[in-house]
Copies of this chain bind each other. A is one copy, B any other.
């Protein structure tokens, strides 16, 4: 190899090293940027928290707030059969709690009237977390159904056709800890309902039902002898206590 070639080679190597140095600086700035963005998100989570708490407190006083919001959601309403609608009337609060390190997961917390006739629990939690291995995992509170009140079992008694229709129901979703990917109900609760539940609560019924009307047999209309429409037991007035 000629001395010139060796010199060229050394210059070539030096250039690559210089590029690598620039790259390290860029990488380190990228990392800093990610950290700062995460810090902003964590800080605003803290700032939002008292407002979410206050919102939860007031919502708990409005009877059937959550079930009304749920039933006004065009997709979510399809997952809530009649008996589950009745049970979800006792849902007093829905909370989404992100982990301190928000990349690691979140919890969906459902607070029920402790006197609800369906189960002993007053709080049901479904937690989505990223394992150390990077695998997503979900953990759920076991529901302690009161005797004869397990809505999921009740469905199975009524034959496989009905059972199939409710496979993707709200409570079957809740109790299934395998739904890690493509978890439509979790996504709707976290990204659509939770950011602004009032807009669903207030949504005129006609609007929320628009999507259902065509073609499909919709048996929503002929259920009035039981509890009528979605949930309309008693008046939808403010609960004064």
Q: Give residues in A with beta carbon < 8 Å to B.
A: 5, 7-9, 11-16, 18-20, 22-23, 25-27, 29-30, 32-33, 36-37, 40-41, 44, 47-48, 51-52, 54-55, 58-59, 61-62, 195-196, 198, 201-202, 235-238, 240
Contacts and interface: CB of A to CB of B under 8 A. Distances in A.
A48 B28 CA distance: 10
B51 A41 contact: no
12 contacts: A9-B237, A11-B238, A12-B236, A15-B238, A16-B62, A16-B198, A18-B54, A18-B58, A19-B55, A19-B59, A30-B48, A37-B41
A173 B97 CA distance: 45
Contacts of A11: 238, 240
A146 B12 CA distance: 32
Contact of A29 (B37, B48, B62, B240): B48
Given A22-B58, A238-B8, A29 B15 contact: no
Contacts of A236: 12
A36 to B, nearest CB: 5
Contacts of A51: 22, 25-26, 29
Nearest to A20: B198
Contacts of A22: 51-52, 54-55, 58
Contacts of A48: 26, 29-30
Contacts of A37: 37, 40-41
